[in-house]
Amino acid sequence: MRRTLIANLRCPATGEALHLEATRLDGDEVLEGRLAADSGRSYAIRDGIASFVDATVLESQTVESFRQKWATHDYYREHTHRFYTDWYLQRYGFLDLAGLRAAMQGVRFALDAGTGAGRDAINLADSSDAVVFAVDTAWDALSNCRRRGQSERVEFLHADIHALPFPDGFLDFVNCDQVIHHTPDPRMAFEALSRKLRRGGDICCYVYRKKAAVREFTDDYVRDKIRALPVKEALKVCEPITKLGRSLASLKITVDVEEDIPLLGIKKGPIDLQRFFHWNVLKCFWNDEFDFFTNNVVNFDWYHPENCHRFEPSEFRAWFAQGWEIQAWDVQEAGISCRARKT
């Protein structure tokens, strides 16, 4: 972590300023040491990453699930970059990287909350002059990112969304994409993020959408069966589901649902057979652009974490009813995306 950025950080418990006690430096980069507050609290820095996560948070099944995920799949960012970057830009109304650059003009400090493989953090840094704080509770995600390289303006922090090491109103831009639904209380996590964003700043946030009735039942059934399994065992259990997705996709068959089935939440119209199963029966993700392991990790990522909240569009939109001006709103089968400005 860079010494020049430490003045911007605060003790997440008390809000106090932090001072550096470094034990290993590389120029401006602090590789080992600790950040200390006058109250006596301190936060270790190791491998260039400051850690603010309370030990009780690390006990969460969901946090441990993602830690093991990122420890297992260390090439996810490169392998999925094009697909997820394009999807991100469309959902939030940026359309392309030029649109993202235009929206990021004037941003000094940005946050990527739940950075995972670091894709969004790097895209934000490459599209702006901002310092981007990439935060995650999964240490392995952050260490993978540092090892695989990143923009010099991305700063990785081991921190919890609910207890961020920034003053209130400090951030100009907050990104929390495909993350907040994995927190114990997503609305509370959203409020915690909002406090750190200045008035006039933008937030990009995505939540899972509630699915058709049979799909919801299957999701909860599978999750209940595998959430206690170690990651390698859970990945093995998911393999037949992923193979089913691959087989259905290879058929390239379109079925025509003649009319809505409201009782089951099934929509009328033509739909690819694999997509019909995926949205209405069970998540059996398959993308020909990804290798088998990555497709399987996408399915595992849905079924294994204990915290996996889903929302109706109206429930999510209510988060922005007061104090926000919506800039972009996108509703898809998978989830709901909103870019909003704090007023």
The pLDDT profile of the chain, 343 residues, written as one tens digit per residue, is 999 999 999 999 999 999 999 999 999 999 999 999 999 999 999 999 999 999 999 999 999 999 999 999 989 999 999 999 999 999 999 999 999 999 999 999 999 999 999 999 999 999 999 999 999 999 999 999 988 776 789 999 999 999 999 999 999 999 999 999 999 999 999 999 999 999 999 999 999 999 999 999 999 999 999 999 999 999 999 999 999 999 999 999 999 999 999 999 999 999 999 999 999 999 999 999 999 999 999 999 999 999 999 999 999 999 999 999 999 999 999 999 999 999 9
What the block records as the tokens of 52 is 């603010």
- The predicted pLDDT at position 209 comes to 98
End-to-end alpha-carbon separation of the chain, Å?
A: 32
Amino acid identity of residue 224, one-letter, is: D
Euclidean distance between CA atoms 140 and 94, whole angstroms: 30
Predicted TM-score (pTM) of this structure: 0.95
Torsion on CA atoms 87, 128, 100, 343, rounded to nearest 10: 110
The residue behind tokens 């909860």 is: 220
pLDDT digits (tens, 9 = 90+) for 58-75: 999 999 999 999 999 989
80 φ/ψ angles, rounded to the nearest 5 degrees: -110, 5
DSSP H or E stretch at residue 271: strand 269-272
pLDDT digits (tens, 9 = 90+) for 293-343: 999 999 999 999 999 999 999 999 999 999 999 999 999 999 999 999 999
* Spatial CB neighbours of 165, under 8 Å, sequence gap ≥ 6: 9, 10, 11, 12, 18, 43, 50, 52, 157, 159
CA distances from 173 to 38, 205, 218, 323 (A): 29, 11, 37, 16
Contacts for 249-255: CB closer than 8 Å, 24+ residues apart: 249/274, 249/286, 249/288
- The predicted pLDDT at position 148 comes to 79
Euclidean distance between CA atoms 339 and 170, whole angstroms: 18
Angle in degrees, CA 195, 200, 204, rounded to 5: 70
Contacts for 142-149: CB closer than 8 Å, 24+ residues apart: 142/49, 142/115, 143/47, 143/49, 144/70, 144/71, 144/74, 144/117, 144/118, 145/77, 145/115, 145/117, 145/118, 145/121, 146/47, 146/48, 146/49, 147/74, 148/74, 148/77, 148/78
DSSP 35-92: EE-TTS-EEEEETTEEE---HHHHT-HHHHHHHHHHHH-SSHHHHHHHHHHHHHHHHT
Euclidean distance between CA atoms 68 and 98, whole angstroms: 35
For residue 53, count other CB atoms closer than 10 A to its CB.
Answer: 20
